Amino acid sequence: MWISIVIPAHNEAAYLKDCLDSFVGQTHLPDEVIVVDDNSSDNTFEIAQSFAEKFSWITVLKRKSVDEHIPGRKVVDTFNFGLRRTAEFDLIGKFDADIILPPNYFETMVNQFQSNWKLGMCSGLLYIRKGNDWVYENIADKTHVRGPIKLYHKACFNKIGGLRPGVGWDTVDTLLAKYHGFETQTVPKLKVKHLRPTGHGYSSTNYQAKGTALYKMRYGIVLTKVAALKMAWQAKSPSLYFQTIFGFLKAFFQQKPFYVSKAEGRFIRKYRWKGIWSKI
């Protein structure tokens, strides 16, 4: 199975070498890795280029964009920039530049996809440093395929229409995969080190964007309140709840375009409510 990986990278000099070292050390090498330097002001490009000079399967591209931090949209736009340069692939991955993979990551991924023809999306689990230990990054269930390390089967990626450019892209893709009959899976034994915890540098505006994403996924106000409460509880931040609801209502009154169709939205709401009731 041909594996293509795109790594969007903006000012990732502190992490990129360790990340690419973990790619080079794989027992099953990816067929191509494209690092897209997204308007970095540090030496991200030089670090990536040093790897590209040693390994023919690593390519570095430069992308010009705005300096503004736009959660979700910027990383997806950068991924799509690299995607246009990929070869014909069987598995496509959007990986972050601040992760360290275990040596058998891609070997295990290929085995998972080859043994299950319905598998559309797969990943390991993310761990962050706490003192001298690496602990599970507990911002999502261990069954959720996380955005920084996920692989898509080509059939699934094409069926869901690629990635949505905005906050929530790595949730709506999973839901759409299920809508189209694909399975998603995580492999707990694949422990990936996440060098920079998710949400680093988030502002209140970014949290409002979460509410906008829930609107675009057609959650509806009641389900959005439940999701906002869960996020606020996990983040131990009551204000996050109100920022999320504000973002939802703002998108509602502005009639922002949706990520999904009405039929897909009905499926998403039913699927989410089923998950909620199963935990009560």
Query: Between 205 and 177, where is the model more confident?
Result: 177
Q: What's the whole-number average pLDDT of the chain?
A: 92
Residue 201's pLDDT band, with cuts at 50, 70 and 90, is very low
**Per-residue pLDDT tens for 53-107?**
999 999 999 998 766 666 678 899 999 999 999 988 999 999 999 999 999 999 9
Q: How far is CA 112 from CA 1, 65, 106, 118, 164, in A?
A: 11, 36, 10, 10, 25
Protein fold of 3-194: Spore Coat Polysaccharide Biosynthesis Protein SpsA; Chain A (3.90.550)
**Per-residue pLDDT tens for 25-35?**
999 999 999 99
Provide the residue ranges of all domains of the chain, joining segments of one domain with +: 3-194, 204-278
Q: Report the percent of the chain where pLDDT is more than 70.
A: 95
Residue 178 in tokens:
């299920």
Instruction: Please give the pLDDT value at position 235.
Output: 77
For residues 243-264, b (16+ Cβ closer than 10 Å) or e, as one string? bbbbbbbebeeeeeebbbeeeb
If you search the block for the tokens 């189209």, which residue do you land on? 180
d(CA 219, CA 196): 29
